[in-house]
Structure 1
Amino acid sequence: MCGRFAITLPDDAMAALFDAVPANDLPHIPNYNVCPTNQIHAVTSDDGHRRLRPMRWGFIPHWYKTPADGPLLINARAETIAEKPAFRAACRERRCLIPASGFYEWTKDEEGKRLPWYIHPAEGKMLAFAGVWQVWDKGEEPLTTCAIVTTDANKAMSKIHHRMPVVLARNDWAKWLGEEGKGAATLMHAPPEDALAFYRVDPRVNSNRASGPELIEAI
């Protein structure tokens, strides 16, 4: 799964990287401890025009009467996304890229204490997670919401966790966004083992209130 990540690249650099027009109301960055229900950055494509826009991390199905009317859907499993009622329409029609500088995962020591790891690109400054999104409009104001697509971990990542986000290579961004026709389903797999690197970080990040660049410093 993916339950926490970091985003540090400035908005203008992110917009240039994804060749997208940035919205005026993007969330504050850097954010070294992005948590579920936070506003995050996402890239969408409409008629070939990309937009960098804010979304609530936590997909809200159309039948929820309130945002808390059911489980918090921050991840969508690649193996079942096309079948699950919550995600199947979004998987066909509303896919997005979710930029991240890196993400966190946890192991446990012999005493059961949670040990956080920071997973980041082996090369480059940015990851692009596969995501799905939709607008929930049963509240006072519409909410644009999203979930990160996850898959079985590759061999390297399986040492830390059995699941991981679908990380898309740059030459696959257009296909995932629907700019190159069909075939997005073929992209929902783990990245090559050498695409990511990881190291232990301070347990301070175990708190969703923690912040600051020291959260991603190796220990």
Structure 2
Amino acid sequence: MCGRFALTLPPEAMVQIFGAAPANDLPEVPNWNICPTNAVHAVLSQEGSRRLVSLRWGFVPLWYTSPSDGPLLINARAETIATKPAFRQAARDRRCLIPASGFYEWTKDEDGRRLPWYIHPQEGEFVAFAGIWQDWSSPEGAAMSTCAIVTTAANEALGHIHHRMPVTVAAPDWALWLGEAGHGAAVLMRPGPEDLLAAHRVDPKVNSNRAEGPELIEPFDG
């Protein structure tokens, strides 16, 4: 799964890298501790143009009467995304890319303490997570745009930390995932290459969703 991540790329860099027009309400970066329900950067493709927008991380199905009307859906499993009622239409028609500099996962020691790891690209400054998005509105008219990160079974390189990992989309496949290059995006929902990501232990202070600062991603030996 993916329950926390970091992004340090400035908006200007994301605009250039993805060839996307920026919205006016983008979240602040850098952010070393992006949590569920936070606003995240996402790249959408609509009517032949890419946009860099802000989405709430936590997909809200259309039948929810409020964002808390059911489970908080921050991840969508690749194995069931095409059939699960909450996600299947978005998986067909509303896919997005969610840039991340890295993400966090946790293991436990023999005493049950949570040990955080930071997982990041071995080369380059970021990866693009596969995502799905949806506009939602309440019966009273409150509206928001929401998203979930697509996950799959972890590859061997990361399986000792967690059994799930985000689906990452390589640059040559961005157009296919966004629906610009026709059909067949389902083939992209697989674990990334074994040498794509590296991991190191980080300070347990990141266990708090209030923790901030670049030290959260620094290697930790304690």
Structure 1 residue 140: Cα displacement? 4.0
Give 5+ residue unaligned stretches, structure 2: none
Q: Deviations over 1:2-44 (max 9, x none)?
A: 0000011000011111111111110011110000000000000
SS in structure 1 at match of 2:52: strand
Distance in 1, matches of 2:46 and 2:210, equals: 35
Indicate the RMSD between aligned Cα atoms, in angstroms: 0.7
Q: CA deviation at 1:142?
A: 1.3
Alignment of 1:181-200 (within 5 A): 181-200=182-201
Secondary structure, aligned partner of 1:159: coil
Q: Secondary structure at the match of 2:187?
A: helix
**Distance (whole Å) between structure 2 residues aligned to residue 49 and residue 218 of structure 1:** 39
4+ aligned runs moved over 6 Å, structure 1: none
- The equivalent of 2:167 in structure 1 is 166
Kindly state the Cα deviation for residue 48 of structure 1 after the two structures are TM-superposed: 2.1
**Structure 1: gaps of 5 or more residues:** none
SS of residue matched to 1:66: coil
Partners of 1:206 and 1:200 lie apart in 2 by: 12
TM-score of the aligned structures, taking structure 2 as reference length: 0.97
Residue 23 of structure 2 corresponds to residue 23 of structure 1 = yes
Alignment of 1:87-166 (within 5 A): 87-138=87-138, 139-166=140-167
1:47-99 superposed Cα distances (whole Å, 9 cap, x missing partner): 22100000000000000001000000000000000000000000000000001
1:196 offset after TM fit, Å?
Answer: 0.4
- Give 1:178's aligned residue: 179
Please, what TM-score do these two structures have when normalized by structure 1?
0.99
Alignment of 1:69 onto 2:69 = yes
Query: 1:195: how far off?
Result: 0.4
> In 2, distance between residues paired with 1:208 and 1:217?
17
Distance, in Å, in 1 between the alignment partners of 2:124 and 2:193 is 15
What residue identity is the alignment partner of 1:89? Q
Same amino acid, percent of matched pairs:
68
In the aligned structure 1, how far is the partner of 2:108 from the partner of 2:141? 42
Give the Cα–Cα distance (whole angstroms) in 2 for the partners of residues 35 and 3 of structure 1. 7
Matching residue of 1:209 = 210
- Distance in 1 (CA, whole Å) between partners of 2:150 and 2:116 is 21
Kindly provide the amino acid, as one letter, of the partner of residue 132 in structure 1: I
User: Partners in 1 of 2:204 and 2:141 — Cα distance?
Assistant: 38
- Partner SS, residue 40 of structure 1: strand
Aligned residue pairs, count? 219
Give 2:49's aligned residue: 49
Structure 1 Cα separation of the partners of residues 15 and 79 of structure 2: 30
CA distance in structure 1 between the partners assigned to 2:46 and 2:85 by the alignment: 24
d(CA) in 2 for partners of 1:147, 1:130:
9
Alpha-carbon distance in 1 for matches of 2:9, 2:141: 32
User: Residues 175-211 of structure 1: CA distance to partner in whole angstroms, max 9, x if unpaired?
Assistant: 0000000010000000001000110000000000000
Matched residue, 2:33: 33
| Matched residue SS, 2:14 | helix
State the distance in 2 between where 1:69 and 1:22 align: 31
- SS in structure 1 at match of 2:172: helix
Secondary structure of 1:193's counterpart equals coil
